[in-house]
Amino acid sequence: MELLQRNYFELLGLPTQFEIDLTILDEHYRKLQSEVHPDRFVTASSNERMQSMQIATQVNEAYQTLKNNTARARYLLQLNGIETLEESNTAMPADFLMLQMEWREAIDDANAAKNVSALDALLIEIKQMAKALSLNLNHQFAENSYSQASESVRKLSFIDKISADINRAIEQLEN
Amino acid sequence: MALLQIAEPGMSAAPHQHKLAIGIDLGTTNSLVATVQSGMSTVLQDEHGHALLPSVVRYLEDGNIAIGHLAQAAQSADPKNTISSVKRFMGRGINDIPDTTHIPYKFRDTGAGMVQIETRAGIKSPVEISAEILRVLKDRAEKALGGELTGAVITVPAYFDDAQRQATKDAARLAGLNVLRLLNEPTAAAVAYGLDNASEGVYVIYDLGGGTFDVSILRLSKGVFEVLATNGDSSLGGDDFDHRIFCWILSEAELPPLNQEDTRLLLTKTREVKEWLSENYEAQITSVLSTGKIVNIKLTADKLVELTQTLVTKTLNPTRKALRDANLSIEEIKGVVLVGGATRMPQIRQAVAEFFKQEPLTNLDPDKVVALGAAIQANVLAGNRSDDDLLLLDVIPLSLGLETMGGLVERLIPRNATLPVARAQDFTTFKDGQTAMSIHVLQGERELVSDCRSLAKFELRGIPPMAAGAARIRVTFQVDADGLLSVTAREQSSGVEAEIVVKPSYGLSEDEITNMLKSSFEAAEQDKQARALRESIVDAERLIEAINAALAEDGHLLSADENFTIQAQVQALKTTIHDKNKDHIIQAIEILNHSTENFAGRRMDASVKKAFAGKNLNKLEL
C-alpha cells in the first residue's frame, strides 16, 4: 500500500517542513480518518479490515507527532538523519542547567508547602519558555541549523518531562 | 435517451438493500435494544410495551431460565439463583468484589480468573449470564425487524478495561450476535445527543449508571466526534447509593445479620426509596422480614444526601483528571450532558452544576440515550451509509504496560491515545537456543506490577533458536477500535512470525467458550461438524458480499485479467458453498483473500486521493 510508504507530512497532505498550519493539519487528519478508519470497513473483507487498521494506526501516529512541536521537530530531524539522543545526551548550556535546578527546587518547595498555586504559576512560566523555544525552532529549521534545532528539542523534551512532573504533583496535592 | 446501467450477472450485491442492525445497551440495572427505522433511532419494546429489560437472570427449578421483569419479581424469593447486576462481575476476580457479605450469590473461589457463580443450573460465568440477557434482546429485535441481523453495536463503559470488554464480546458471541463494534457509553450518548441537537463544540458526558461511572470529554464538529479524554470508576454507580441506604436501615432498625432473602428484600426496597426521594421530601420504609420482624422507619431526602455525599464527591476526581488530560478548563466546556438513571438524583445534578458552573443538559431520556446512539452507529457500520455519517474517534481509557525486571511496569501505550493505536517493542533472548518467551501485559497508571491490573500473559512460541541475545524479536501491540489488544511478534533477522498463546488473567480461554457454545445449542444442532460448516458458510457469504461491493465500486482499479480472476474465484467459492464441503470452503476463502490483498491496498490509496482531490476541486471552482 502506497500510503504506508509516505512520511508523516506526506501522509497528512502537508509540506515536509517544521512550520505547518495546525488548522489544516486537523482538517486533513479528520478527512483522512474518515476514509481509512476501521469503522468504514466493519463488513469488508479481512484484508481490507487489516489494512485499514494498519493505516488508521499510522495516521494517528502521524497526527500526534505533527501536532506537538517537540515531536514534530524530533521527527523532522530524524528524517534528515539526525537523532536527538535525548536519553544519553546530557550536554546542556550552563544557563539552562541553572534554570533546571531552579525549577526543581521550586517544585520541591511548593510540594513541601502544599502550595498548588505556586505549582500552577511555575507551569505557566515553563510553558512560556517552551513557546519561545518553539519559535526558535521555526528559525532554526528555516535556516537548516540542525544542531541548534537538536539542542532546542533536547530542552523542550526536558520541559515536557518537568511539566508532567508538576501536573502529577498538582494532582496529588488536589486529592 | 437516458442510458440505463445494467449490472453484470453476479456483480450487483444489492448495495441499496437496507441492512438490519441494532444497538444494545447492556446495562448494570437495565438493558435495551434500539434500531434505526425510516431514519429514526427508536428503542424496541417487548410484547408488554416495556422498553427496559431488567438485567436480571433467574435459573429456575424446572431447568428454564427467566430473564427480565419476571426474574426480578422473584429476587427476594430466590436470591441465590436470581442474578442481578452481573455487569459488575464481568472480567473481575473474586478479590475485586469489595464486600461479598451483602451479596446473596454463592461465588466460587477458584483463586484466579473471572469470578463464577454457583446456581442450581450449575456453575455460571458472568459471560454466560450476560449472554442470556443479550439473547432476549436479539430475539426481540429479530421479531420486530422480521429478518436476519447484520450485526449489533454493544455499548460498554468507557472505563472498562480489556478483560471487561473481551468478556462483553464473548457474551455476544455466545448469544449468537455479530458484534460490529464495542462502543463506549458516553460516546454513544454523545452521538444521540449531538445529532439530536446538531451541536458543535467541546462537551462533557457525565454518565452515572447502576454500577459504573464514566466521564468523557468530546469535541463535536461536523461529521467527527473526537474523544479528548476519558476517565471514571468501573465500580461506582447507583447500586452503591442503594448500599449506603441499606447499611443505614440495618443500623437504624437495629437489625441482626439478615438471611439472603431479607437482604435481597431490603436492597430492592432501598432502590425504590432512592428513586422516590428524587421527587419527594421523605420516604417511609416499611418491610416485613422473613423472621416476622417489621421494619418501619423514615428516611428524608436531606439524610440521603448526607449518607451519600462522599459517593458524589468520588465522581469529581475522575472528572478533574479528565479535564487535566484534555488540557481544558471548565470555561471551555460548552455543555455537560447527564447520562444514566442515577443522574436523576437532585444531589448529582446540583454537584455537576456547581462543578462546571453551568446547568447540565438533561433533555434526552438518560435511560435510553445510550441505546439510541448505539443504534445510530450500528446503522452506519452495517453499511447503510449516507452523507451525514459520523466518524467516531475514541480513546483507550487506561495505559498499557509491560512487566519488566523488579516488578516494574514500563508504559507502552498511554491512556487517552486515540484508537487504533500500536507500539512496537524489541526483545531478545536470555539463553542459547531459547524458543519461547512470556510477556506480561498490564493496564493502569501506577509503576508497580502489584498496583496495576494484570491483563494477560502472552506466550511467544516458535522463536528460531539462536545464541543468547542474538534474536531481535519485534513485538507489536495493537489496540483496535473496540479497545482490545492483540499481539504479534516477528523475529527480525529470520522473518519468522512467532505463535502467540494468550492466557487472559480474568477472561475465558478459547476452549471454555467453545464448550459454552456447545452446551448452549439445541439438541438437534449439537453436531460440531454441522456448526463448523455453518460458520464457514457465513464467513464465505460475507466475503462474497464484500468483494462484490468492492468490485461494484472500484472494479475500474483492476485490469481486465485481474477482474476476471477474482470473479472466477468468487464463483469457485460459491460452488464450494453449494457442495457444502467445509474444507473446500475454507480453502476457497483463503485463495480469494490472498488474491484480493493487492486490490484492497489500491482501493485505500484511491479513496484517500479522492478525499484530498475534492478539496482542490473546490478551490478551482472559485
Q: What is the DSSP letter of B57?
A: E
pLDDT for the residue numbered B524: 45
Tens digit of pLDDT at every position of chain A (175 positions): 788 889 999 999 999 999 999 999 999 999 999 999 999 999 888 889 999 999 999 999 999 999 999 999 999 999 999 888 777 656 778 888 888 889 989 999 988 898 888 898 999 999 999 999 999 999 999 999 999 999 999 999 989 889 988 888 887 787 6
**Cell 485505500 belongs to residue:** B604
Residue of A nearest to B316 (CA): A175
Q: What is the mean pLDDT of residues B313-335?
A: 94
* pLDDT digit string, tens, across residues B461-475: 999 999 999 999 999
Q: Measured between CB atoms, which of B324, B420, B599 is closest to A57?
A: B420
Give the lowest-confidence range in B45-59, B101-115, B161-175, B373-387.
Answer: B101-115
Q: Which of A24, A35, A59 to mutate to test the interface with B (most CBs of B within 10 A)?
A: A35
**Residues of A with Cβ-Cβ distance to B420 under 8 angstroms:** 38, 53, 56-57, 60
Strand pairing of B224-233 and B213-221?
Answer: antiparallel
Residue owning grid cell 441492512: B19
CB-CB: which of B421, B607, B610 is closest to A60?
B421
Q: What is the DSSP letter of B398?
A: S
Tell me how close the Cα of A26 comes to any Cα of chain B, in angstroms.
Answer: 11
Nearest CA among B276, B269, B274, B264 for reference residue B237: B274
Mean pLDDT (whole number) for B541-558: 90
ipTM: 0.90
Sorted by sequence, the CB contacts under 8 Å of residue B327 that are 6+ apart come out as none
DSSP state of B279: T
3-state secondary structure of B386: coil
What percent of chain B has pLDDT above 90?
Answer: 70
In this predicted structure, what is the pLDDT of residue B520?
65
pLDDT at B617: 38
Residue from the list A35, A44, A57 with its beta carbon closest to the beta carbon of B611: A35
Shortest alpha-carbon distance between residue A143 and chain B (Å): 30
Taking Cα atoms as reference points, which of B404, B385, B406, B396 lies closest to residue B549? B385
Q: Which residue has the cell 479522492?
A: B610
Q: Tell whether B612 is within 8 A of chain A (Cβ).
A: yes
Other beta carbons within 10 angstroms of residue B359's beta carbon come to 11
Closest-approach residue (CA) in chain B for A56:
B420
Pick B391's closest partner by Cβ from A34, A60, A175. Answer: A34
**Is the CB of residue B15 less than 8 Å away from at least one CB of chain A?**
no
In this structure, the strands spanning B151-156 and B179-184 are parallel
pTM of the model: 0.89
Helices and strands, number each (H, E), in chain A: 7, 0
Helix H or strand E segment including B484: none
Contacts of A6 in chain B (CB under 8 A): none
Closest CA–CA distance from residue A33 to any residue of chain B (Å): 8
Inter-chain residue contact A36 with B600, CB threshold 8 Å: no
pLDDT digits (tens, 9 = 90+) for B119-151: 999 999 999 999 999 999 999 999 999 988 999
Tell me if B547 and A45 make a contact (CB, 8 A cut-off): yes
- pLDDT attached to residue B140: 97
Among the listed residues B293, B337, B72, B5, the one whose alpha carbon sits nearest the alpha carbon of residue B204? B337
The per-residue pLDDT for A5 is 87
Count helices and strands in chain B by DSSP H and E runs: 14, 27
pLDDT band at B5; cut points 50, 70, 90: very low
In terms of Cα–Cα distance, which of B509, B519, B472, B507 is closest to B166? Answer: B507
Q: Distance (Å, rounded) from C-alpha B608 to C-alpha B612?
A: 6
Residue B106 is classified by DSSP as E
Distances (CA, A) of B76 to B79, B99, B104, B105, B269: 5, 19, 10, 12, 11
Q: Which of B114-128, B245-259, B607-621 has the lowest mean pLDDT?
A: B607-621
Chain B closest CA to A93's CA: distance in Å?
A: 31
Residues 26-65 in B contacting A (C-alpha not used; CB under 8 Å): none
**Distance (Å, rounded) from C-alpha B481 to C-alpha B91?**
19
Residues of B (126-145) whose Cβ lies below 8 Å from A:
none
pLDDT of residue B15: 45
Q: Check pLDDT > 60 for residue B621.
A: no
| Active-site amino acid positions of B | 25, 87, 185, 207
Q: In this structure, what DSSP letter does residue B121 have?
A: T
Q: Find chain A residues with C-beta within 8 A of B611's C-beta.
A: 31-32, 34-35
Closest by CA position to B114, among listed B171, B65, B174, B57: B171
Q: Tens digits of per-residue pLDDT, B334-355?
A: 999 999 999 999 999 999 999 9
**Chain B interface disruption, residue of A24, A49, A57, A65, most B CBs within 10 A:** A57
Mean pLDDT of B428-449: 92
pLDDT of residue B2: 47
In the chain, the amino acid numbered A85 is L
Q: Which of A137, A12, A21, A19 is nearest to A64 (CA)?
A: A12
Contact yes or no for A99/A158 (Cβ under 8 A): no
- A39 vs B: CB within 8 A: yes
Nearest-angstrom CA–CA distance, B548 and B379: 20
* Whole-number pLDDT of residue B16: 54
Structure-model confidence comparison of residues A29 and B193, the more confident one: A29
The identity of residue B160, as a single letter, is F
Q: What is the DSSP letter of B397?
A: S
